[in-house]
Structure 1
Amino acid sequence: MARTVDLVVVGGGAMGLATAWQAAVRGHDVVLLERFERGHHHGASHGTTRNLNIAYDDGEYVDLVARARTLWDELAVVTDTPLLDLVGVVNHGRPDMLRRMRELHAERGVDSEFVAPGDAGRRWTGLRFETDVLWVPDSGRIRAADALAAFERVATELGAEVRWSTPVTGIEIEGDDRARVVTADEEYLAPRVVVTAGAWTEGLVGGLARLPRLVVTQEQPAHFRVTDDDAVWPGFNHRPDPDGGDDAWWYGPVYGMLTPGEGVKAGWHRTGPVTDPDARSYLPEPVQFEALRRYAREWLPGVDAETADPISCTYTSTDTEDFVLDRVGPLVVGAGFSGHGFKFTPLVGELLVDLVEDGEVPARFRQLGSA
């Protein structure tokens, strides 16, 4: 006999765990099902650190980061866990984009300032700069692995059930307020099912709702050994100048941060090869990886570029890089976080539970259609 619950969450990465937390806070009887074991490295949520950067050239995203920051602070308080290291973030390259970011900050009261490249180089000796730098001090580093543990802990303390190593073999829509979720050893009936399955989203819900195009790529950042022990390391984002010939060899924007105990993490953003999440090599594409080492040689004087220790993760991206947060009947989908979603994790959980409760989310995220 099927077990009846208020809500089933399919996918136990960052977004699914945040959804379970928010659902449990609101009193829902929630079960989360994750196909892999706790702490696995097959998706997009593993790893020790992520950047918390408020520098967007889109006002709505700036506002959403501010809302997410409030929830990060709330999670840290209720779990008594430090989750944010406010080491700041430096943004350089693409002066037109940086000016727009600064204008949005000024409109919204976000603390940021331009720093001349020479001054920036003396202040942050591990990095090299050729253009003005947009410094955002109230930003920094998210302790990503600690955050996953915190979400799970507080959700289960509030009554949520998290089942690891439990693949979902099928989701069946049985009405506007009824769905069946099938695993190898149990079935669940619920008025709402939230799918936060990352690279596996299309396979789980492609026949149940019309999704926007989702492209799964294997991304391949790396950790580099720090050689400048005196360097101060903010998070960093570096965008190529589309009109600058010197950047022609770049694959795309570069992001990075210090990961304590592991080195400086750096990577190309959203440039990895398209992949099947069930048939990945987990090995870096060699040409892109060598280009990343070249970037480190030229732009990260505080690291040893030859010590690159590769990391493998997936991005699931929409064409616009806007997330998919939407509902069709009993099915709610959170997907397409496009490599910049982690900073929004607690807010995504809140928005997905809003959809569970027939609430609204920003229109740009309503990207589902009926199958």
Structure 2
Amino acid sequence: MSAHTDYLVIGGGAMGSATSHFLAAAGHEVVLLERFDPGHVQGASHGSTRNFNPAYDHPEYVRFLQRSQLLWDEVSQQAGVQLLHRTGLVNHGDVPGQRVIHRVLGRAGFDSELLSISEAQERFSGMRFETETLYIPQGGQLNADKAVSAFQQLAAANGAEIRHGARVLRIEVLGDELASVTVQDASGEHMITARHVVVTAGAWTQALLGTTLELPRIHVTEEHPVHFALKDRDAFWPGFNHTLDPARRTGSRVFAPVYGMHTPGEGIKVGWHGSGAVIDPEHRPHLVIEEQLSALQDYAARWLPGVDPQLFEPVSCTYANTEDEHFILDRFGPVTVGAGFSGQGFKFVPAIGEHLALLASGRTGTIPAFSAGRTIDTPIFLNRRAQAGLA
């Protein structure tokens, strides 16, 4: 392993792998360190499906969407693998919000339609609707495992050194353009110095940085979506997001908004958004919350006639969210941090990787909405969980 490098990226999930790709493609010397083995399931970048959901009205996210849509195709072509499958995506349950997004997306170059209940039901017979639906044809699904592999493949092809099984223990800022990183691997502890360090460590970000940098608080949760078995094999399945009112009496508890997508060979993936137990990623329990699982089955029985709610397979991942659920994309001297992506970040991976590479190399500045020093007036994450009765 190099004892010195220009750019040292810590965390080889999707964001770190994408950042390494864009840094290496720009001709920089890059070392990427990943604590776990390739294809591991300890973080938030594994599995075969993530929604590419363009349903945003915030201008910074819309700009990232526009860039990501182009870059997913570009990276797919370079790596020789299709990463984004455009099946379309539907949002329902929040009609006023959907209409705002419909107007914003139209100005941003995304096609979208507002469908009546009957129109949505006719197109998507595996689902049930009670409100007007926003349909976005350019939405779809991303293959997470293949994306991480593709970005690392491209980074390595441009000279990046990628090391798995390398756990970072400490980061020390030595100067305006120098940091040292203590790394533990199979051969022991080593120190690497770098002109610049990029931290994309997901659920481990706050613990790794400690008091070195002042970041907004990051809440780490363990989530357990499930794959329900298909019952209606003729139904067309877009990705979907469903906003539910936790106060509405439907005979079953609502823990959060619901997301879902078709995972070929595994069924229909369905999950509560950010409802899991708050955990320490070093001591992850891998414990399904039975009440939430039962409520997810009730949801499927009521809203997804195309699946069998009694046949399912749980999966597990971590979320890492800031309290306002906005990203952290900021630079602190020789350290750049990308964090707080869970539950919505994967669709933006190439645009964020490109942005972090530019930020680390001094070619762009911090976006105020994603500054680590922003004021968080509304703790959306905590409020949403409190409304659902989650501690």
Q: Shared topology, TM-score over 0.5?
A: yes
Match of 1:360 among 356, 365, 368: 365
Report if the CA contact (8 A) 1:234-1:257 is conserved: yes
- The aligned counterpart of 1:71 is 71
The CA distance in 2 between the partners of 1:105 and 1:242, in whole Å, is 28
- The aligned counterpart of 1:142 is 142
Q: How many residues align?
A: 369
- Within 5 A, what are the aligned runs for 1:144-163? 144-163=144-163
Matched AA of 2:178? R
Match of 1:298 among 296, 302, 311: 302
The CA distance in 1 between the partners of 2:80 and 2:303, in whole Å, is 37
What SS class does the counterpart of residue 278 from structure 2 fall into? coil
- The aligned counterpart of 1:207 is 211
Matched AA of 2:280? D
- The aligned counterpart of 2:195 is 191
Q: CA deviation at 1:9?
A: 0.5
Matched AA of 1:196? T
- Give per-residue Cα distances to partners, 1:286-339, cap 9 Å, x unaligned: 111111111111111111111121111000001111100101111111101131
The CA distance in 1 between the partners of 2:146 and 2:128, in whole Å, is 31
* Residues 1:112 and 2:112 are matched in the alignment: yes
* Residues 1:220 and 2:262 are matched in the alignment: no
Q: CA deviation at 1:243?
A: 7.0
Report if the CA contact (8 A) 2:53-2:139 is conserved: yes
* Residues 1:13 and 2:13 are matched in the alignment: yes
Match of 1:342 among 338, 341, 346: 346
The CA distance in 1 between the partners of 2:127 and 2:55, in whole Å, is 18
Q: CA deviation at 1:58?
A: 2.0
Q: Name structure 2 gaps, 5 residues minimum.
A: 375-391
| TM-score (norm. length: structure 2) | 0.91
What is the percent sequence identity of the aligned residues?
A: 47
Query: Could you tell which deviates more after superposition, 118-127 or 308-317?
Result: 118-127
Q: CA deviation at 1:360?
A: 1.4
The CA distance in 1 between the partners of 2:77 and 2:221, in whole Å, is 35
What SS class does the counterpart of residue 207 from structure 1 fall into? coil
Report if the CA contact (8 A) 1:327-1:368 is conserved: no
The CA distance in 2 between the partners of 1:202 and 1:80, in whole Å, is 35
Report if the CA contact (8 A) 2:44-2:342 is conserved: no
The CA distance in 2 between the partners of 1:170 and 1:59, in whole Å, is 36
Q: CA deviation at 1:31?
A: 0.5
The CA distance in 2 between the partners of 1:69 and 1:108, in whole Å, is 12
Report if the CA contact (8 A) 2:245-2:254 is conserved: no
* Residues 1:54 and 2:45 are matched in the alignment: no
What SS class does the counterpart of residue 5 from structure 1 fall into? strand
Match of 2:265 among 244, 261, 268: 261
- Give the 3 Å change call, closer, same or farther, for CA 247–79 of structure 1 in structure 2: farther
What SS class does the counterpart of residue 260 from structure 2 fall into? strand
- The aligned counterpart of 1:285 is 289
Q: Name structure 1 gaps, 5 residues minimum.
A: none
- The aligned counterpart of 2:164 is 164
Match of 2:237 among 233, 239, 242: 233
Matched AA of 1:220? H
The CA distance in 1 between the partners of 2:162 and 2:369, in whole Å, is 30
Report if the CA contact (8 A) 1:318-1:338 is conserved: no
| TM-score (norm. length: structure 1) | 0.96
- Give per-residue Cα distances to partners, 1:178-207, cap 9 Å, x unaligned: 001111343211110001001111111122
Matched AA of 2:341? F
- Give the 3 Å change call, closer, same or farther, for CA 59–242 of structure 1 in structure 2: farther
